[in-house]
Amino acid sequence: MQVLAMLYLWLKAGHVIFVIFWMAGLFMLPRFFVYHQEALEGSPENAIWIDRERKLMKIIMWPSLFVVWGFGLALAVSGEWYTQGWFHAKLALVLVLSAYHLWLATYAAKLARGERQLTGRQLRLLNEIPGVTAALIVVLVIVKPF
């Protein structure tokens, strides 16, 4: 029983660590997009932003997304939370963040092709999604209101 308790704590620690990494990327990438869109197409600066965005996604964001999901699902099973309402709401919000991540990856590819569909203001507003969602998730996990 003590081994399971220790494993739970390691799972939780890993989950929190990789959530922090993932959230950092979710906050940084839209800001990168704002600066990227200000660079002239075909310029050296434009190429630098494409490379930065690619590295952020490849080195931090994609691995963190998969590890967060892995640890999170392991925690849900070990704590038998999948039967609780707060967990269902948290899972829905994590799905929202995952969809946002996919949208960011798609927009990065569009920017790399020279397609600039959104304004800097729109990107700044979209950058609020991870903050609001993370705040709601923290409340659900800590307070467990239902």
Longest Cα separation, the chain: 60
Indicate the SS3 state at residue 76. helix
**One-letter identity of residue 76:** A
Both tokens assigned to 73: 């699902």
**90 labelled ligand-binding:** yes
Q: How many CB atoms lie within 10 A of CB 131?
A: 12
88 marked ligand binding residue: no
Closest C-alpha among 132, 135, 125, 103 to residue 31: 125
d(CA 3, CA 20): 26
> In residues, how long is the chain?
146
Q: Which residues are annotated as a binding site?
A: 15, 90
Task: Please state the residue numbers annotated as binding site for heme.
Answer: 15, 90
